[in-house]
Amino acid sequence: MKRAKLYLEAKKLVNEDQVYPLKEAVEILKSMPHHKFDETVEISGKLGIDPKLSDQMVRGSVVLPHGTGKTIKVLVFCESEKEKDAKEAGADYIGSEDIINKILNDGWTDFGCCVSTPSMMRSVSKLGKFLGPRGLMPSPKTGTVTENVAYAVAEAKRGKIDFRVDKLGCIHVGVGKISFDKQALNENISAFIDALVSVRPQSLKGDFLKSIYVSTTMSPSVRIDVQAKNLGFKND
């Protein structure tokens, strides 16, 4: 596969056999040549779990200290008496059966987060096969099925991200933009990894984080040291 010139130049800054402290990895990403758009900084990694086991499913959420750098559109499914709270909190779309039908019939997904009250989930469950694979299905585990829709909307707007391991035992999320300063990226990445470690399955034996990499949308990956003290956790 032929790589672009900027990618090849960026690759010269990375030793593929080396594991870097987080701060150094972020410095490498910032020093790479970048494209004209504001690339997303991404974390990807392999977890030491068996995704086929139900008690080793990894899923959670975290509010990034400096946000994602994206404007998140929030959809809220709620009863009429909660619509005012949702609107005042900044919800972009509010509805019930009308929006459910729009999603089912038109494939509409012009939103990045979906919140629902518990009583609406009977109807919202119809969307499971459509929203689930897109990571948009409301869930109590991520705080998006709640009576307090205003709080859930506010968190989403502040920079809350949901994460979930895939069928191969891998994780992949965006944690900011390359235009963020180094400290903001360090703090966002640390917050995500702390949140990831906090949902380690109790049944797991051995290492949880096998390998973790950071990259931008168009750059090569840099492997980070998950044992480094400046990450704020212990991998045990």
The arithmetic mean of pLDDT across residues 44-58, rounded, is 92
How far apart, in whole angstroms, are the C-alpha atoms of residue 71 and residue 204? 36
DSSP β-ladder status, 170-177 and 40-47: antiparallel
How far apart, in whole angstroms, are the C-alpha atoms of residue 65 and residue 191? 7
Name the CATH architecture for the domain at 74-157.
Answer: 3-Layer(aba) Sandwich (3.40)
- Topology of the domain comprising 5-67+161-231: Ribulose 1,5 Bisphosphate Carboxylase/Oxygenase (3.30.190)
Q: What is the pLDDT of residue 36?
A: 87
Residue corresponding to tokens 């995704």: 51
> What does the domain layout of the chain look like in residue ranges?
5-67+161-231, 74-157
Confidence (pTM) = 0.82
Mean pLDDT of the chain: 90
At 233, is the pLDDT very low, low, confident or very high (cuts 50, 70, 90)? very low
At 34, is the pLDDT very low, low, confident or very high (cuts 50, 70, 90)? confident
pLDDT digits (tens, 9 = 90+) for 75-89: 999 999 999 999 999
Closest C-alpha to 58, from 199, 211, 160, 224: 199
pLDDT beyond 50 at 128: yes
